[in-house]
Structure 1
Amino acid sequence: MINKKLSRDSLEADAMNFVVHGAPNLYGFFWAKSAIELRQNATSVFIVPRSWMSGAYFERLRAFVFAQGSIVELHAFDNRNNVFGSTKVLQELVIVVFKKKRVDSVQIWSHDNITSLEQSESILVPRGLVVVGDEQRVYLITNAHQLALAKWAVALPSTFLDSGLKMKTGLTVCFRNRDLVEDEPSANNVPIFYADDFYGHEIRLKRESSQYLSKKRAGLLQDNVDYIFVKRFSTKEESRRIQTAYYEAERFSDEKQISTDNKLNFVVASSSDLLKGAFLVMSSTIFDEYYRLLSGNTQVNLTEINSMKFPDKHSLATLGKKYTISELTRMTQERIDQIMLTNFGGES
């Protein structure tokens, strides 16, 4: 494994510019070059970070190598702390067996660590459920439940963006704008919301300091309308990656504008009913599990969310119209999952 980030003007990036998108990584160049040199029907094996499987930075790499051949095996590890014993490699790694030939299925294993390779069981997954969408993101499906989840997701009729929704990243990087952050409200500032302002599925002003932002920079301000707030970061130990709260503008009716911290993502929608329906879907267990198939990161990536399969706009708005915001934010997880199952199928 060669995991090293390079600058876009490096000699390596210039030589392999056909797979460069965003911040290049040396292992991507090595894989692309290996795919070129590999003989037809021959096989190569790589131990690499999981990062290549999704995200815009590796989109060109995926497009190139999948035009050359196919993944025939994927080996994932349940615990990133002991993949290579006591070497203290903490990166989430996968072993990829690549063949310079088109194949229709992928054999996928999940192992505890490198010493359990022979004891683990695998699952055979159709290629169309592993390599998905125009961006050819790779879903890590290691058991029958995840296979059923992938089939459910592929059958959804729309995408997040096509359903009239869009996720964006919070506007204010606070450490770069310390001079604008204030402790007390005034006519010259607005509330700025953080990931630690979540109170269950509600949003409350909880900070004793740094809760307000000066109006001096218009580019850091946004309209005070309803949003779905999503924590941008979680820990490996937390039970959910997609952690949601419904921001109800009416609760802060004195404000015409607000701001959001950069460690927060927010979702906008073309109608309030659509936003409420989307909130139910995004707060469900099945959607969280669906996202985990795609990404091993603890960061919720807006590019990935915006391209994910999703129920259609009409169905979401029809669902959202049935519930008040107060009802949504007080629902138990079991109730949310049952509503999801009834309206959009799947398992939770």
Structure 2
Amino acid sequence: MAGLFPDGMGDCFLLDAGAGIGSLSAAFLDRWRTGGLHFQRVAVDAFELDHDLIDDLSKTLNKYNGNGDLSVNIQGEDFIHCAVESLAGNLFSSPMEHFTHAILNPPYKKLNSNSPHRLALRRVGIETVNLYSAFVALAVALAAQGGQIVAIIPRSFCNGPYYRPFRDFILERTAIRHIHLFDSRSKAFKDDDVLQENIIIRLERGAQQESVTVSTSADDSFSDLAAHEHPFDRIVFPHDPERFIHVPTSSEHDAIELFPAIRCTLSDLGIKVSTGPVVDFRLKAHLRDMPGPGTVPLLYPGHFSSIGTTWPIENTKKSNAIARNADTERWLYPSGYYCVVRRFSSKEEKRRIVASTVEPRAFGDAPLLGFENHLNLFHENKHGLPEPLARGLAVFLNTTAVDESFRRFSGHTQVNATDLRLMKYPSRAALIELGEWAASQGTLSQDQIDARLEALTA
């Protein structure tokens, strides 16, 4: 992280918010002291709210003192409230410097909509849902023109509707200069329970956006470091209203980009995708372990596998049925063919997108079906799809090309309906042709699926 900063002259004002014991500031000061950065003076502002760490933080930073060219200001206060008061121009608060540099490993914690931090951030025009994005946004707001911000943060801000205001904030105020991606979700942070990829990002305040360097490594040893330059329109697609941030891992275009036949939206196809409406803990009184009189099937991700649908499943922790009554009727769908995608993948699972076809014959004469909240569901106005279309969608979504394309903008274990809604698809006719082919083949290998998509869209 310290090595990502470009060399500089004059005075440096360094912000380290959430400093811990000072490891990041120490790396920056190491580079400066060994001649890698040519600042005349460095002033460090280190914020750390955990008072048990303050002594160690002080010892870490004061090791670099001695020449009279370093000043260290350790603040055991809440960074968000201090930054907001300074940005809002509160007469009773201490104004903060416009920092030339910031190096951050911010805390990760969700912010409730009415939490004190969320309300404080709104005072200075920052709307975001997590502490880590709040820290980065405040560092950007406090940075001087040309200020450099390097942060290690979860990749979840790159996509999804909740981080759209944060993406807008940084894209309007900074240029993305460098993104480093760790290929493995488990190796880089093996001491932590990391459920999503982390990236290191360098932003430059007020700069004109140019190409972006994207580097990758398997883990934090960086032994296999590789880097490529990409034009910005491969990072944020020009006409994407959500402004998703893509992270290409090679200089080549992914297969979906190269297929001119894959350009349809779900709206073009007349299809919708929704999150499964049955939230089991809210409807607990209506759940049944096994089907019986007055019930209909309730489907979880565990009911679907590469060999098809297995329902009911005995001796499972999940329910197999839900009572059909006035309280549940509005959450149920008419029996039919659907395509479903699991919302969560495990850490090192080969595929991020796992799609299945819902076959109504698996449920006998059940008139309705319940889809649990851990599934995404493709449908036509809350009704089933034509069988070939449902099968074709599942085959397309299970291709390697789709999985690789999806990984470019999503680094977490969750596949949201919004993500699926914003993807591009083959035409309805092409999907139906794909589904008819799949129905005639029986069990399909990954190679067969990938080859068929390539032939269909050539």
Residue pairs, 1:1-348, within 5 angstroms = 1-2=105-106, 3-17=108-122, 18-20=125-127, 24-83=129-188, 88=192, 90=194, 92-100=197-205, 101-116=207-222, 120-132=225-237, 133-145=240-252, 147-149=253-255, 151-152=257-258, 156-208=262-314, 210-216=319-325, 217-269=328-380, 271-272=385-386, 273-320=388-435, 322-323=436-437, 326-327=439-440, 330-345=443-458
Q: CA deviation at 1:161?
A: 4.0
| Contact in 2 for aligned 1:280/1:328 (Cα 8 Å) | no
Q: Call closer, same or farther: CA 1:184–1:89 in 2, change over 3 Å.
A: closer
| Separation in structure 2 between the aligned mates of residue 14 and residue 335 of structure 1, nearest angstrom | 53
| Separation in structure 1 between the aligned mates of residue 409 and residue 448 of structure 2, nearest angstrom | 25
| Contact in 2 for aligned 1:245/1:329 (Cα 8 Å) | no
| Contact in 2 for aligned 1:194/1:263 (Cα 8 Å) | yes
Q: CA deviation at 1:153?
A: 7.0
- Structure with higher Rg: it is 2
| Separation in structure 1 between the aligned mates of residue 178 and residue 408 of structure 2, nearest angstrom | 16
SS at structure 1 position matched to 2:349: coil
Q: Call closer, same or farther: CA 1:108–1:153 in 2, change over 3 Å.
A: farther
| Contact in 2 for aligned 1:242/1:288 (Cα 8 Å) | yes
Q: CA deviation at 1:201?
A: 4.9
Deviations 1:115-164 (A, max 9, x none): 427x622011111111132111111212235x334633798422234432
| Separation in structure 1 between the aligned mates of residue 408 and residue 342 of structure 2, nearest angstrom | 18
| Separation in structure 1 between the aligned mates of residue 291 and residue 154 of structure 2, nearest angstrom | 45
Corresponding residue for 2:87? none
| Separation in structure 1 between the aligned mates of residue 310 and residue 446 of structure 2, nearest angstrom | 20
TM-score by structure 1 length? Answer: 0.87
| Separation in structure 1 between the aligned mates of residue 449 and residue 145 of structure 2, nearest angstrom | 50
| Separation in structure 1 between the aligned mates of residue 363 and residue 441 of structure 2, nearest angstrom | 18
SS at structure 2 position matched to 1:330: coil
| Contact in 2 for aligned 1:72/1:107 (Cα 8 Å) | yes
1:337 maps to a residue whose letter is D
Range that drifts further, 249-258 or 235-244:
249-258
| Contact in 1 for aligned 2:183/2:217 (Cα 8 Å) | yes
SS at structure 2 position matched to 1:259: strand
Report the number of matched residues. Answer: 338
1:215 maps to a residue whose letter is R
SS at structure 2 position matched to 1:135: coil
1:12 maps to a residue whose letter is H
Give 5+ residue unaligned stretches, structure 1. Answer: none
| Contact in 1 for aligned 2:261/2:427 (Cα 8 Å) | no
TM-score by structure 2 length? Answer: 0.67
| Separation in structure 2 between the aligned mates of residue 286 and residue 229 of structure 1, nearest angstrom | 18
1:72 maps to a residue whose letter is R
| Contact in 1 for aligned 2:340/2:375 (Cα 8 Å) | yes
SS at structure 1 position matched to 2:241: coil
SS at structure 2 position matched to 1:167: strand
| Contact in 1 for aligned 2:182/2:199 (Cα 8 Å) | yes
Q: CA deviation at 1:199?
A: 3.8
Q: CA deviation at 1:247?
A: 0.9
| Contact in 2 for aligned 1:174/1:262 (Cα 8 Å) | yes
Deviations 1:170-229 (A, max 9, x none): 222223333212244334110111211124252121411531210122123111121012
| Separation in structure 2 between the aligned mates of residue 81 and residue 202 of structure 1, nearest angstrom | 30
Q: Call closer, same or farther: CA 1:206–1:49 in 2, change over 3 Å.
A: same
| Separation in structure 1 between the aligned mates of residue 159 and residue 274 of structure 2, nearest angstrom | 18
Identical-pair percentage: 28
The alignment's C-alpha RMSD in Å is: 2.6
| Separation in structure 1 between the aligned mates of residue 177 and residue 117 of structure 2, nearest angstrom | 28
